[in-house]
Amino acid sequence: MQGEKITVEILGREGLARIGRFRTAHGVINTPNIMPVINPNINTMSIDAMKRAGMTCLITNSYIIRRSPALREKALRDGLHSLIGFDGPIMTDSGTFQSYVYGDVEFQNRDTVEFQLNIGSDISTILDIFSTPDDTWNKAEDAVKMTAERFAEVDDLAETHDISGPIQGSIYPDLRKISASLMSSGKASYLPIGGVVPLLEQYRYAELVDIIINSKLNSDFSKPIHLFGGGHPMFMGMAVLLGVDMFDSASYVKYAKDDRMLYPEGTRDLKDIMELPYWSPLRGRYTAEELRKEPADSRKSLIAVHNLAAIYMELSEIRERIHEQTLWQYVEARSRSHPALFEAFKRILLYSGKIEKYVELYRKPPFMAFDDLSMMSPYASRVRNIKGSGEYVDATAYYSYGMGLSEKFIKEIYEKTQDKYSIMWGDIEIPVELEESYPVQQSIFAKNMLNSPKKYLNRGESTLRNYNLEKIRFLADYQFGAGSGKNLFPDSCQIMVSRSTGRIRTIEDAGKILATMRVHDGYLALTMEGGERIMKNSPGMKNRVMVMDESATFNAQGKSVFFNFILDCDMDIIPYNEVLVVDPSDNLVAVGKALTSGIEMKQYRKGVAVIINHHRK
């Protein structure tokens, strides 16, 4: 592709998972998505049939095309898209996998890439070095270095064309980090994770979690992440949860050859099937028995249609889950369908601390807690360490889920003592001031996870503090940094509460509104006056998104902040938290909601980064 290089525009998110899109010379690709593998020598399904199943992009092998004189001549004369008979985006592989399976290929790296460009590939691939799960660390390291060197050989071509830089490193997380960093810092505009097919075939999903997460977190977020060969529906949701955008697979054909049919939770043999599922495009046309009686070639083509439908159905479900922000819950439930998936899900939980910074401050749906593993998710890990030092008194007896703290506790106990109080949220002890904020109040627990109080409460005599004031100060410290609470909310501030619910609505001082408490998540939303006060307690870039003067003029009128106008930002910003939008002179022009983490803000180049809520008029 000549001209603008591939860059992801984010349209929806849940943690590392994202709904996005990127443009190629032959059209836009919406993600998450899959590129079915097309063998130009074998016509199992027609292109029209594949498009009806949901195909919008595909991948084919340039090595196979180049080795066949007839295919090579037609591709060079008429172009790759004419050869395949498809007018949408086409990616080409280089022959690396064939080299791994059959031995060295007869072509060199640079001329392999040049051939792909000459036939009009939208996304070309270098001839990288395939690492196997059995490789030693030293051998895998050599493959990482050689793959990086091979990409350097085509740096000049990558200036104007989209060339993928595969991330290698075998099963070694440290090598995956190095490879991802090397490919992200170079001119590769597309990042496939390679060398994973043997692990997928052996159901070694836990090791795949290590590979994907270490590749993703060390990659440029503006570039698509592709899992080579990862086309089985049962693992796709988990891969997307970890940040994979694209897949490719020949599984729809490969399984069909053996009379195996894909389902969202696994694979079934046709001989064991009593009834075709209601979603299968074959249902109504064939019974399982009639399908078994079809001639081998016809049966293979029909099962391939079913298999492709299973893949696109799962991708549709995944995209919908991201849209409604229930992908984590979906993957957690799905992980119980196979021991290998369950082990992989438990491996993901070990990375909760690293994933946490990309997880939104709140989600639209409630937090679902099924068992102790649920309480290890990044949504729970964020509040696990909120409780500071010192002795806390357990107030769980005065707290009920959905109702909050009792008025008796607030007036007769909390406000008449200086003690620190906590409640049990599942197995996590948290300060009482977080009672209304996500995910504490917005959660649904299995009954066996509810806890009883641990300690007896001592009652004070006279009123020493105001609970609502302590709560909003606690939330300000949590959202904007230690010390923000007292700076934002002095003793003189007035707290307005709802007459019907008694919950905090607005906070004012000297006749000016400083913040409101959001109903949907229990966190603070700042006004411009509140933003100015936060700035006084926020040195450097803390809580800030700095934009160009050109953007600041529009943001001061209430228009959103776009990624390509950002000069700098606080790297610790978390998605959906309040941020301060400032000009290059550090003048506050607006406050709003960040749509990504600070790390992502510095990498994305397309789309909206901050939605403005209040602005300087």
- Just list the catalytic residues: 93
Enumerate the β-bridge partners of residue 581. 545, 590
- Tell the burial category of 320 from Cβ atoms under 10 Å away from its Cβ (0-12, 13-18, 19+): middle
377 in Cβ contact with 371 (< 8 Å): no
- The residues, any chain, with a CB within 8 Å of residue 592's CB and separated by 6 or more, are 560, 561, 578, 579, 581, 610, 611, 612, 613, 614
Tokens at residue 314, please?
A: 């799962």
214 in Cβ contact with 177 (< 8 Å): yes
CA atoms within 13 A on the CB side of 60: 28
> Pairing relation of β-strands 608-615 and 58-61?
unpaired
Phi, psi (degrees; rounded to nearest 5) at 385: -110, 20
- Nearest alpha-carbon partner for 316 in 27, 58, 54: 54
Amino acid at 604: Y
Count CB atoms within 10 A of the CB of residue 145.
16
Give the separation between CA 471 and CA 502, rounded to whole angstroms.
Answer: 14
- Nearest alpha-carbon partner for 329 in 367, 364, 378, 380: 367
**Helix 339-349 crosses helix 233-241 at what angle (to 10 degrees)?**
0
Tokens at residue 72, please?
A: 């090579």
Give the separation between CA 46 and CA 85, rounded to whole angstroms.
Answer: 9
Exposed e or buried b for every residue in 507-525, given b needs 16+ CB within 10 A? bbbeeebbbbbbeebbbbb
- Tell the burial category of 426 from Cβ atoms under 10 Å away from its Cβ (0-12, 13-18, 19+): buried
- The residues, any chain, with a CB within 8 Å of residue 269's CB and separated by 6 or more, are 259, 260, 261
The torsion region of residue 120 among left (phi > 0), alpha (psi -120 to 50) and beta comes to: left
Give the separation between CA 164 and CA 463, rounded to whole angstroms.
Answer: 66
Amino acid at 359: V
485 in Cβ contact with 495 (< 8 Å): no
Compute the residue count for the chain: 617
Q: Where are the alpha helices (DSSP H) in 508-564?
A: 528-536, 549-555
